[in-house]
Amino acid sequence: MNRKDFGDDFYWGISNAAYQVEGANTAEGKGLSIWDVFTQKRNKIFKGHNGDIACDYYNKFTDDIYLIYQSNIPNYRFSISWSRIFPEGIGQINYKGIDFYNRVIEFCLELGIEPWITLYHWDLPEALQKKGGWTNRDVVQWFNEYVACCIKNFGDRVSKWIVLNEPMVFTGAGYFLGVHAPGKKGLTNFLAAAHHAALCQSSGGRTIRSLQSQSFIGTSFSHSHLEPFRKDDKKDQMAKIKVDALINRLFIEPLLGLGYPVKDLPILNRMEKYILADDMQDLKFDMDFVGIQVYTRELIKHAPLIPFVQANIVKASDRFVHHTIMNWEVFPNSIYEAVKRINEYKGVKQIIVTENGAAFDDVLYNNTISDTLRKDYLKNHLNKLLKAKNEGIKVNGYFVWTLTDNFEWAEGYNPKFGLVHVDFLTQKRTIKDSGKWYKDFLS
């Protein structure tokens, strides 16, 4: 397998996100985000870690983007911190924030790297959370004001946009389970947040298209390939269908005009009270591409005591299968199954894998990290992606998660996903063997 097998117009890239790398969380007029606040709470994050400094990318972005250039990676996906641009979420613009992203964009272009901007990667301005955040329907206006500002300021040089990053994760973990910012729990919070996020996903797309004619617009979904734990067990099969409706279908289907998957997950009927007259129509938008982020497969078991889905995920470690530090099974075929599945939806024009990668224990020895497991993980996933491409599936891009080791949300700095190792005491970067492999692969 080599790069050419994927065709000349295939987008090769690497992804990261503002809160996970930037640091400088109060520098030059930046307002606080929900993650700045959530990480200060006790016992929420592994060892009390936070993103106050992270990879100090705010000051070191030229070094990091230069690493992308040296690695022959032509596309770079990063996110904008909303509260750097609007410290209060709306209203007054912080021009220092605009300036910062202008410098990032300019430097990419100087090196011939195409910038892909994720507009929302989980760091809502805290000022908006004080008004209810994603549970407040006004978020649709707030978000579109912010999106319009980004297009007006960066749209002369950036045409690739990702509206939301993994809405299922930021609404599920942030507003249902309370394990991510802002730490809210319960079905009511979740259903309101989910519906408003779905409205932002489509209206954000419309805002971009109305302001920029030459744009290439997508939005990114988490997607796990699911199987029943006991293949022939009816209850496990039912459990799988419910979990699938929740974690894989909830956001893509309304976007494609199919509505919410209420038939397979009746609890979603309770969303009705948030749905206004024209909403089902407004949830639709014809994206130029669908981004999917694939890491693993999950096996689903019937669990009568679990509310709403009556299902559990059987952890990889309990199944004694090869897994990463995240306890995610290494199962390369999941990427094949995922793109195949998305491809079956009518109305999907192009699929881009906007994230794929793995966290393993890395050992730095003699300035070298021989991360064979990560290298094999990437290679094996790419092989399966090529199989899908050769079968005619419309997949047209692949972005590795991620450039440097960084702040992995509730897990802090413990899981390391980077192709580049970071010593967080000195901020020294060391390219891992997987990074060298990706470079050779792309040469």
Catalytic site positions: 166, 355
Query: Residues 108 to 147: which contact ligand NOJ by CB under 6 A?
Result: none
Q: What's the closest the beta carbon of residue 256 comes to ligand NOJ, in angstroms?
A: 21
Query: Residues 400 to 419: which contact ligand NOJ by CB under 6 A?
Result: 401, 408, 417
Cα angle 157-162-164, degrees, rounded to a multiple of 5: 140
Q: What's the closest the beta carbon of residue 417 comes to ligand NOJ, in angstroms?
A: 6
Q: What's the closest the beta carbon of residue 168 comes to ligand NOJ, in angstroms?
A: 11
Residue closer to ligand NOJ by CB (options 49, 302) is 49
Task: Using alpha carbons, select from 32, 303, 1 the residue that is nearest to residue 181.
Answer: 32
Query: Residues 141 to 200: which contact ligand NOJ by CB under 6 A?
Result: 165-166
Cα(417)–Cα(413) distance, integer angstroms: 10
Cα(388)–Cα(383) distance, integer angstroms: 9
Residue closer to ligand NOJ by CB (options 161, 401) is 401
Q: What's the closest the beta carbon of residue 182 comes to ligand NOJ, in angstroms?
A: 16
Upper half-sphere CA count for residue 251 (Cβ side, 13 Å): 31
Upper half-sphere CA count for residue 73 (Cβ side, 13 Å): 28
For CA atoms 82, 84, 88, 92, the dihedral sign is negative
Residue closer to ligand NOJ by CB (options 355, 362) is 355
Helices of type H across 345-421: 372-390
| Helix (H/G/I), strand (E/B), else coil: 380 | helix
Residue closer to ligand NOJ by CB (options 142, 417) is 417
Q: Which helix (H) or strand (E) holds 60?
A: helix 57-70
Upper half-sphere CA count for residue 341 (Cβ side, 13 Å): 19
Query: Residues 286 to 305: which contact ligand NOJ by CB under 6 A?
Result: 293
Cα(72)–Cα(121) distance, integer angstroms: 25
Residue closer to ligand NOJ by CB (options 98, 255) is 255
Residue count at the site for ligand NOJ (CB under 6 A)?
9
Q: Residue 355 interacts with ligand NOJ (CB under 6 A)?
A: yes
Cα(156)–Cα(175) distance, integer angstroms: 35
Cα(48)–Cα(36) distance, integer angstroms: 12
Q: What's the closest the beta carbon of residue 16 comes to ligand NOJ, in angstroms?
A: 8
Binding mask 244-283 for ligand NOJ (x = CB under 6 A): ----------------------------------------
Pair of tokens at residue 181: 């910012």
From candidates 17, 198, 247, 255, binder to ligand NOJ by CB under 6 A? 17
Q: What's the closest the beta carbon of residue 64 comes to ligand NOJ, in angstroms?
A: 16
Binding region for ligand NOJ (CB under 6 A): 17, 20, 165-166, 293, 355, 401, 408, 417
